[in-house]
Amino acid sequence: MTNGEATAPRTLWDRSRQLASREILEAALRLFGEQGYEATTVAQIAHEAGVSQRTLFRYFGTKEDLLGGDPDRFVRALTAAIDELPADAGPWEALRTGIAAALELHESRHQALQRFRVLYATPSLRAGWLEKQLRFHERALPLIASRLHGSPGDADLMARAMIATAFACLDVAAKAWVDRNGKGEILDLYDRCVSAART
Amino acid sequence: MTNGEATAPRTLWDRSRQLASREILEAALRLFGEQGYEATTVAQIAHEAGVSQRTLFRYFGTKEDLLGGDPDRFVRALTAAIDELPADAGPWEALRTGIAAALELHESRHQALQRFRVLYATPSLRAGWLEKQLRFHERALPLIASRLHGSPGDADLMARAMIATAFACLDVAAKAWVDRNGKGEILDLYDRCVSAART
DNA sequence: CGCAGGTTGGCAGTGACTGTCAGGATGACG
DNA sequence: CGTCATCCTGACAGTCACTGCCAACCTGCG
């Protein structure tokens, strides 16, 4: 819930930048919720936010980015959380900690639910989301591989398998959370998914 | 390697249909391999295959479909293989059997490698592929859930977690297979991934 | 031969996205 | 306070995937 960066905007530019960004995001989320993702055109969002289409694309490179936000923030939170763990923490514990940290980035429970709802209601969006997760996989790879103690030749493959499994479970858990209208905790569902996968 | 349907084309229409489909596919795969997926335009493929762009889209609904082929065939092979299993086969064995059957659908080892290479070289394609896998998940759900014996309230969540894990492992395995230039068997890599995930 | 039904190609249009460029607002400096 | 470099913005044209529509066409069948 608490997002880490409270960067005080010094210049007027930064301030209006932030303002525009926020207004675009709000308009987008509202329209997506009202009429669905596909039925909402970028032109419409830009008009509602009071900016030109070109400017919208300067802030958010693609229409998908209007939902996902900045992926780098997630990567940073995830890797930072894992880095702080003691060296003897196992790979599964590390993954769980990183995912928990990434989930904390949502501004509010309500906004998280709103986002996930649109996400799981639109197949193409979900695909884009999965693609973004692949970048997390790459970044997490060295952090997880170093916590394995088996044969070093298989370390890369094993680490990849574990990471992929963890994020697959996260996906299932988030979807289940949406299906239950945000009742309960995603992390609890995640734990149950992982334990089921490792049975 | 052996694809099940040897439907003898009765009418001339069916025959030319099949021919056109094959030529389009060949041109697409060749161009994708030569210049990459994104750099290849649909207009170029249509021109090389000697059909209009409009016709190409009638055969393959989207540019992505030129690589993935008909997803229903995979679903059918997967579910059929699982259905033939005895009732006391566990969920993991069922998933492995289904995935093995789906992998058998590739015409040749070489074409499979060619396809996977393009797939893993293009992020957006990989995303679409993952999205198609989600349809497999849905179809496989009842077949797997029925093989669980734990608390029935959690059966849905557990089954989803297992399915998602299996396909995540398949993805990792296929990528590893491409990275090794098609050396070895995907299924072996898959087994190693699953055993790593369940450690 | 002629007809019904499926097939094809062209054409215009939509929507996401990009390059470019002139013009306006802003900040730094004298 | 004036000047100039810097950044930001909107507008326009263009590309590419994809769709609806329609006229022309071919095939199979009576």
Give residue-wise pLDDT tens across range A118-141.
999 998 888 888 888 888 999 999
Q: For residue B104, what are the contacts with CB-CB under 8 A and spacing of at least 6?
A: B1, B2, B77
Give residue-wise pLDDT tens across range B120-154.
999 888 888 888 888 899 999 999 999 998 777 78
Contact A132, A71 (CB under 8 A): yes
- Interval B50-60 mean pLDDT: 96
Q: Angle A155-179/B186-197 helices, nearest 10 degrees?
A: 70
pLDDT at A1: 39
- In chain A, residues with a C-beta closer than 8 Å to the C-beta of B160 are 172, 175-176, 193
- In chain B, residues with a C-beta closer than 8 Å to the C-beta of A198 are 197-199
What is the distance, to the nearest Å, from the Cα of residue B168 to the centroid of all Cα atoms in its chain?
Answer: 13
- Interval A182-186 mean pLDDT: 95
Whether B160 and chain A come into contact, CB under 8 Å, resolves to yes
Distance between first and last Cα of chain B: 32
pLDDT at A81 over 60: yes
Nearest to A160 among B131, B172, B198 (CB): B172
DSSP state of A152: G
pLDDT at A5: 40
Interface test with A, best of B126, B141, B147, B193 (most A CBs within 10 A): B193
Provide DSSP, A74-88. Answer: HHHHHHHHHHTS-TT
Other CB atoms within a 10 A radius of the CB of residue B41 amount to 13
Cα separation, B165 vs A44, whole angstroms: 39
pLDDT at A9: 56
CB contacts < 8 A (A, B)? 100
The reply to whether A88 Cβ lies less than 7 angstroms from strand C is: no
Q: From A192, which residue of chain B is nearest by alpha-carbon distance?
A: B158
B151 CB-contact burial (10 Å; exposed 0-12 / middle 13-18 / buried 19+): exposed
Nearest to A127 among B128, B154, B158 (CB): B128
- In chain A, residues with a C-beta closer than 8 Å to the C-beta of B125 are none
Whether B176 and chain A come into contact, CB under 8 Å, resolves to yes
Nearest to B157 among A123, A128, A189 (CB): A189
Give residue-wise pLDDT tens across range A143-173.
999 999 877 778 999 999 999 999 999 999 9
Cα–Cα distances in angstroms (integers) from residue B184 to residues A185, B93, B176, B178, B190, in the given order:
42, 21, 10, 10, 11
The reply to whether A55 Cβ lies less than 7 angstroms from strand D is: yes
Nearest to B157 among A128, A164, A196 (CB): A196
Contact B49, B25 (CB under 8 A): no
Give residue-wise pLDDT tens across range B4-42.
344 555 677 778 888 899 999 999 999 999 999 999 999
Whether A179 and chain B come into contact, CB under 8 Å, resolves to no
Report H helices in B60-108: 65-68, 71-83, 91-103
A4 pLDDT band, cuts 50/70/90, is very low
**Nearest residue to nucleotide D27 when comparing alpha carbons to its C1'?**
B13
pLDDT at B18: 86
Q: What percent of chain B has pLDDT over 70?
A: 94
Maximum Cα–Cα distance for chain A, whole Å?
A: 58
- Interval B47-72 mean pLDDT: 91
Cα separation, B109 vs B116, whole angstroms: 11
What average pLDDT does the structure give for chain B? 89
Protein-proximal positions, strand C, CB < 7 A: 6-11, 15-20, 26-28
pLDDT at A126: 87
- In chain A, residues with a C-beta closer than 8 Å to the C-beta of B199 are 158, 198
- In chain B, residues with a C-beta closer than 8 Å to the C-beta of A193 are 157-158, 160-161, 164
Q: Angle A91-103/A155-179 helices, nearest 10 degrees?
A: 40
pLDDT at A8 over 60: no
Whether A171 and chain B come into contact, CB under 8 Å, resolves to yes
Residue of A44, A147, A134, A157 lying closest to A97 (CA atoms): A147
Instruction: Check CB contact under 8 Å for A161 and B123.
Output: no
Secondary structure element (H or E) that encloses residue B132, with its range: helix B123-145
Distance between first and last Cα of chain A: 32
Whether A162 and chain B come into contact, CB under 8 Å, resolves to yes
